[in-house]
Amino acid sequence: MSDVHVSNTKRIWFVFALLSVVTTVEVFLGIIKPESLHLNTFLGMNLLNWIFYILTIFKAYYIVWAFMHMEGEKSSLRNAVVVPVVFLVIYLLFILLTEADYIFEVFKNSTIKWNF
Amino acid sequence: MGSTVTTANSEEKTWGGGNEPMGASYGKLMMWFFIVSDALTFSGFLAAYGFSRFKFIETWPLADEVFTHFPFLHGVSAPMYYVALMTFILIGSSVTMVLAVDAGHQLNKAKVTFYMFLTIIGGLIFVGSQAWEWKNFIKGEYGAIETKGGSLLQFVDNTGHRVKLEDFAASLPKEREQLTRSKGKWFMDESSLPTYTVAEVQAGFKAHPDLLIRTEVIYEDNAASKADPKNNTTLNKIKHKTILTRAESERRLESAVLVVEGANLKRNEYGSKLFADFFFFITGFHGFHVFSGVVINIIIFFNVLVGTYEKRRSYEMVEKVGLYWHFVDLVWVFVFTVFYLV
């Protein structure tokens, strides 16, 4: 990247348009909440929430790759940054959400109640 | 200059200095280190939010009932629009930042200055918007009742629409006064009292027979919830908060102990106490990042103005603060999803 200093204004505006469109879609879905997506469960969440998370990761990819210019860095830097974060976040989410669901079941099915 | 910009070393002197591991300069690499650790911090916060939400999955507040305000639209329920606007502002300022970095590569001082200026303005608008969002959240709109058991009761009319406390609470003679430092015997005071007492709300509820109580529980619309005699038969909708029958409402209101208006770190009128805590903590921490980002951008902006980087023949410093600024945008994308969409 340090050798070539060509302007990539075009790509920047493209990514901006893309992020705006995705955000608009998210907001639109968030307002209308289509029943076919909202009223079901898939792996602990409804499909609408899964769509939101997938679109969020899609946006995150473009922010990191285009805006933070990760696509121009060496693969060693890319991996050193992305792999630990992705691994630790998945690990953390797995542990915390599994435990939270367990605690929810305890409150729901036993005599212990928080809300009476 | 040698300490701020490292240039590639073509000779084979591994330990002689001037090397660039991973092809990034020292400053940039350190900025990436910082971003990784900060990203993990935010992940920890958001995962903790997820923990509490899954723990109280049946009673967590619904975002589109909480964040409904838009400037100059009073009394209109406009969920999402305002945060969507905030998101666009932040993405926009991210774009101007990356355009500044791009102009820096071409050593175009005027363009860097212009785009840095726009980035700072965007950041300030975002922080201001967040302050406005906090103001509405803290002030609240409808008010609620907390029961002895710690659950929260809200009020609706016979069409299922929310009703404010001020619209029905009776006016009784008050004996209770706020304890302030000037009246205390020693260094004693208390936080401000709610506008209405529990007795006033209870009396007002009795006087308005069409009022009903809405609990925190999200309505399931299954056989058990339909058969439950406590639940209102006509008003309940799936994935909305459960509305009780009038008789059950009256019974629940007897155990009221506190009037809750707005939000603070102890309790809030939206539902789960943790909800407001996480909202304040995570959006506050993010807002502080935006604020410090603006401050750093201003410092770099003046460095650009006085020509520091022009003399260095390198605008890498703009690139480094740009990384931080984009990171702040990245975090917002996740906060937006977790707090407002899901």
Domain spans in chain B, listed from the N-terminal domain onward: 21-140+275-341, 144-261
A37 vs B: CB within 8 A? no
Cβ atoms of B326 and A56 within 8 Å: the answer is: no
Amino acid found at B219: Y
Where does the pLDDT of residue A3 fall: very low under 50, low under 70, confident under 90, or very high at 90 and above? Answer: very low
Question: β-pairing, B152-156 with B144-147?
Answer: antiparallel
Say how far residue A55 (Cα) sits from the centre of its chain. Answer: 7
Q: Give CA–CA dist B110/B39, Å, rounded.
A: 33
Distance CA B234, CA B244 (A): 10
B156-188 residues labelled b (16+ CB within 10 A) or e (exposed): beeebebbebeebbbeeeeeeeeeeeeeeeeee
Give the pLDDT confidence of B132-178 residue by residue, as tens digits: 999 999 999 899 999 998 889 999 998 888 999 988 888 888 777 78
Dihedral sign for Cα B122, B340, B71, A59, please. positive
Residue B218: helix, strand or coil by DSSP? strand
Give tens-digit pLDDT for A67-98: 999 988 899 999 999 999 999 999 999 999 99
User: Can you tell me which residue has the tokens 């009038």?
Assistant: B246
pLDDT of residue B226: 84
Q: Where are the beta strands (DSSP E) in chain B?
A: 144-147, 152-156, 212-218, 241-243, 256-260
Q: Which residues of B touch A27 (CB under 8 A)?
A: 80-81, 84
Angstrom distances, CA of residue B253 to CA of A30, B146, B198? 33, 9, 9
Q: Does A22 touch chain B (CB under 8 A)?
A: no
CA distance B66 to B77: 10
Instruction: Quote ipTM for the complex.
Output: 0.90
Cβ pair A49:B342 closer than 8 A: yes
Residue A9 pLDDT exceeds 80: yes
CA angle B214, B218, B219 (to 5 degrees): 90
Using the structure block, give the residue that is written with the tokens 């990247």.
Answer: A1
- Report yes or no: B97 at the A interface, CB cutoff 8 Å: yes
Tokens 């989410």 label which residue? A93
**Contacts with A, B 99-118, CB within 8 Å:** 99, 101-102, 105-106
SS3 category, B209: coil
Residue B13 has what pLDDT? 67
Residues in chain A with CB shorter than 8 Å from the CB of B61 are none
> For residue B199, how many C-alpha atoms fall within 13 Å in the half-sphere facing its CB?
6
**How far is B135 from chain A, CA to nearest CA, in Å?**
22
**Closest by Cα among B129, B138, B68, B67 to B280:** B138
Number of residues written out for chain B: 342
Q: Do B105 and A26 touch (CB under 8 A)?
A: no
Residues of chain B with pLDDT under 70: 1-13
Domain boundaries, chain A: 1-73, 74-116
Asked if the model's pLDDT at residue A114 lies above 80, the reply is no
Contacts of B44 in chain A (CB under 8 A): 92
Chain A contact for B224 (CB, 8 A cutoff): no
Q: Which residues from B are below 8 Å from A70, CB to CB?
A: none
CB-based contact, B27 to chain A, within 8 Å:
no
Q: Residue A52 and residue B342: Cβ atoms within 8 Å? A: yes
Give CA–CA dist B132/B269, Å, rounded: 18
pTM over 0.80: yes
Contacting residues of A for B94, CB less than 8 Å apart: 63, 67
Amino acid sitting at position B325? W
Instruction: Decide if B88 and A114 are in contact by the 8 Å CB cutoff.
Output: no
Compute the C-alpha angle B116/B120/B123, nearest 5°.
Answer: 135
Q: Cα distance from B210 to chain A (closest Cα, Å)?
A: 24
Of A15, A38, A96, the CB nearest to B239: A38
A93 interfaces chain B, CB cutoff of 8 Å: yes
Residues from chain B contacting residue A77 (CB–CB below 8 Å): 22-24, 29, 32
Contact A73 B24 (CB under 8 A): yes
Q: How far apart are CA B229 and CA B236, in angstroms?
A: 13
Contacts of A25 in chain B (CB under 8 A): none
- The pLDDT of residue B130: 94
Place of tokens 């406005």: B132
In a mutagenesis test of the A interface, which of B114, B219, B318, B337 is the best target, namely the one with the most A β-carbons within 10 Å?
B337
CA separation (Å) from B221 to A37, B41, B151, B227, B272?
A: 17, 38, 21, 10, 22
Cβ contact B342:A97 at 8 Å: no
Nearest CB to A104: which of B57, B102, B340?
Answer: B57
Model pLDDT for residues B109-143, shown as the tens digit of each residue: 999 999 999 999 999 999 999 999 999 999 998 99
User: Positive or negative CA dihedral for A41, A47, A50, A52?
Assistant: negative
Looking at domain B21-140+275-341, its CATH class is: mainly alpha
Minimum CA–CA partner of A61 in chain B: B330
Q: What is the largest CA-CA distance in chain B?
A: 89
β-partners of residue B13 are: none
Q: What is the dihedral of CA B274, B276, B278, B279, to 10 degrees?
A: 160
Tens-digit pLDDT profile for residues B277-298: 999 999 999 999 999 999 999 9
Of B57, B88, B333, the CB nearest to A20: B88
